[in-house]
Structure 1
Amino acid sequence: MTKEISADQLMQRIAEEYEDLSKQLKVIAKYVEEHRQTLVLERITDIAQACEVQPSAIVRFAQRFGFSGFSDMQTVFRDAFAPAGGNVNNYQKRIRSVIATQDTPLSNTQVTQNFIAACQQGLDELSQALDPAAIDKAVELLVKADNIYVVAVRRMFPIASYISYALQHTAKRVHLVSGLGGMYHDQIRSIRENDLMIAISFQPYGKETRYCARVAGQNKAKQLVITDSQLSPLARNADAVLTVKEGTAFSFRSLTSTISLCQALFIALSYRLELVIEETRDAGAYDD
């Protein structure tokens, strides 16, 4: 390469140019995003097989972003991610290996321990991959918002419900877009330029959340997206993106890392607002 580039800068460029890539290169881009912490350990033939493309396609992908070839691109990820990524990935493999090699059924306690270990692995990876600039931007958006709309569906809905509850402890006007009665349109239509929408969505990215994001964009509202990839369709028009890779066990993804991140955002916002949670005004009981 004629110009040095960091791994974060490369991933940002991939995200910006993702829609212009061919179908094959999009598959490779997603693989790079999902495996960037272990990319330095993989051979080009292994990646090609996982993406169901020829090795030459991997080379074309690297050249598309200004590298001489795959090895040249690999160097970027070696410098940025190899030290932190190796142990996380090995630990994850050990968890899965234990499950796969059991001669007898696991006890309830063993199942619980394995799932907790997967959650711990997800939290470790979240901590290692935190982007300080993205966190700062997210908190700044929360501070400046007149109204905050929170939307998530299905598996992510409990997270939206929690962060809406937490934000109610501030003076912010908070709206949980629940879609009750199919009223997504009615609940999101009043979002405006000085408002903020928090969208929480992971693959396969709920169509309802994408609809709300489109309305927010049309109404010039700010968007804070919590998702699993910079290549998420929600990330492309967001003002701030926070990515989370949840731990997985027994084919179930945990919610631990996502809810921890949301709690941390609320605490950071409270710190900025000098809010003492325990001293927020109580209007009294329902029957007072």
Structure 2
Amino acid sequence: MTSFATAQDKILEELPWLSMELRKAARFLLDHPDEVALVSMRVLASRAEVTPTTFVRLARRLGFGDWAQLREPFENRLRSGSSPYAAKADALVLRSARETIFAESVNAAAANITAVTATNSPHDISAACVLLEKAKGVRVVGFRSCRAPAHCLVYLCRMFRNDVTLLGSDGGALEAELASLDRGEAVVAIGFQPYSRELGLVTDVARRRGVPVLAIVDSMAAPLTRDADVILRFSVDSPSFFPSVAAAVATVEALAATMLTRSGAKGAAKVRQTEAELTALGAYMPD
């Protein structure tokens, strides 16, 4: 009997070589494992925007006899109670009158944030912290809409350590910054589909230099995960025209808080020192 982990590994291994249609179906399986176990192939196909026969072809491509055999590990995973996902935001957000879009957007963001703790296990969080703690310097990268969570992580971490910097902040001289990337450092790459081209450059350089990568992404099927040592995930579901980054921001805020907690009294002292220096420099408006 094939385990869910084995089925997941097979999908990830084959993903780069699949046709566009099969890749779309494969990504859906990876990102919605609960639904694979609970709804019919026809409903899955509708949700994934592929034909039902696409799942049959995918099953055979992955070495399973038919769709039922591929679905079985997903069903067993759900029965075992080891589901890593909370209720999906898209199950809570329903299109309705335009007057409700504000509330729908807020509800979707809240559901995405709630899902973060279910999607990322304590082991994942611990592994991410260890990776960053061992590094003599941390380079954080996120482009376009992911610039906000990347900047947030850098800002928070610099309250208690001085060696966290934002890549791509020097007027577009990303290549020049990567030239100095050192083996003893670590990279945090943040992105969601469609993934910024520059992220591929960063993770490729990191891989060639032997620099560990923490990927904070929307999917286990993200291209960044192929070069990542640790993966944290967030949902971007939204009724809006654009994916939500609320969960990405919540993820980096929680990660920074966890890192500070693990740093102990030394980290707390550094925060007090940084806050005092900011106050002395007039960074804040007077009450």
Q: Where on the TM-score scale, by shorter chain, does this alignment land: which range?
A: 0.7 to 0.9
1:245 is paired with a residue whose SS is coil
Whole-angstrom distance in 2 between the partners of 1:240 and 1:85 = 16
C-alpha deviations, 1:118-176, integer Å up to 9, x for none? 11211232222223332221111011011100111110101111100111122341111
- Residues 286 and 189 (structure 1), Cα distance of their counterparts in 2 relative to 1, 3 Å cut: same
Whole-angstrom distance in 2 between the partners of 1:51 and 1:112 = 26
Residues 1:59 and 2:56 are matched in the alignment: yes
Residues 1:113 and 2:81 are matched in the alignment: no
Whole-angstrom distance in 2 between the partners of 1:175 and 1:249 = 33
Amino acid paired to 2:241: S
Whole-angstrom distance in 2 between the partners of 1:11 and 1:60 = 16
TM-score (norm 1): 0.84
- Residues 266 and 87 (structure 1), Cα distance of their counterparts in 2 relative to 1, 3 Å cut: closer
Query: Of the candidates 145, 149, 154, which is equivalent to residue 159 of structure 1?
Result: 149
Residues 1:29 and 2:37 are matched in the alignment: no
Whether the aligned pair in 1 keeps the contact of 2:85 and 2:115 (CA below 8 Å) is no
- Residues 60 and 133 (structure 1), Cα distance of their counterparts in 2 relative to 1, 3 Å cut: farther
Where does structure 2 lack aligned partners over 5 or more consecutive residues? Answer: 283-287
Bigger mean CA deviation after superposition, 147-156 or 171-180: 171-180
Amino acid paired to 1:96: L
1:82-161 equivalences under 5 Å are 88-89=87-88, 92-93=90-91, 95-97=93-95, 99=96, 102=97, 105-106=98-99, 110-161=100-151
Residues 1:20 and 2:13 are matched in the alignment: no
Whether the aligned pair in 2 keeps the contact of 1:12 and 1:230 (CA below 8 Å) is no
Amino acid paired to 2:106: I
Per-residue deviation, 1:252: 3.2
Amino acid paired to 1:191: L
Query: Of the candidates 223, 227, 248, which is equivalent to residue 258 of structure 1?
Result: 248
C-alpha deviations, 1:12-37, integer Å up to 9, x for none? 33223322334443232112123322
Amino acid paired to 1:131: S
Query: Of the candidates 242, 265, 279, which is equivalent to residue 272 of structure 2?
Result: 279
Whole-angstrom distance in 2 between the partners of 1:20 and 1:63 = 14
Per-residue deviation, 1:266: 1.0
Amino acid paired to 2:50: E
1:266 is paired with a residue whose SS is helix
Whether the aligned pair in 2 keeps the contact of 1:11 and 1:230 (CA below 8 Å) is no
Partner of residue 232, structure 1: 222
Residues 1:44 and 2:34 are matched in the alignment: no
Whether the aligned pair in 1 keeps the contact of 2:216 and 2:231 (CA below 8 Å) is yes
Per-residue deviation, 1:235: 0.8
Whole-angstrom distance in 2 between the partners of 1:278 and 1:171 = 9
Per-residue deviation, 1:88: 2.5
Whether the aligned pair in 1 keeps the contact of 2:85 and 2:119 (CA below 8 Å) is no
C-alpha deviations, 1:41-72, integer Å up to 9, x for none? 332234445453461x4224224444332123
- Residues 187 and 86 (structure 1), Cα distance of their counterparts in 2 relative to 1, 3 Å cut: closer
TM-score (norm 2): 0.84
- Residues 198 and 5 (structure 1), Cα distance of their counterparts in 2 relative to 1, 3 Å cut: same
- Residues 133 and 13 (structure 1), Cα distance of their counterparts in 2 relative to 1, 3 Å cut: farther
Where does structure 1 lack aligned partners over 5 or more consecutive residues? Answer: none
Whole-angstrom distance in 1 between the partners of 2:271 and 2:86 = 40
Bigger mean CA deviation after superposition, 229-238 or 272-281: 272-281
RMSD: 2.7
Per-residue deviation, 1:185: 0.8
Bigger mean CA deviation after superposition, 138-147 or 263-272: 263-272
Whether the aligned pair in 2 keeps the contact of 1:146 and 1:172 (CA below 8 Å) is no
Per-residue deviation, 1:81: 4.2
Whole-angstrom distance in 2 between the partners of 1:94 and 1:161 = 30
Q: What is the aligned length?
A: 274
Moved over 6 A (4+): 82-87
- Residues 96 and 51 (structure 1), Cα distance of their counterparts in 2 relative to 1, 3 Å cut: closer
Amino acid paired to 2:281: Y
Whole-angstrom distance in 1 between the partners of 2:277 and 2:72 = 59
- Residues 132 and 60 (structure 1), Cα distance of their counterparts in 2 relative to 1, 3 Å cut: farther
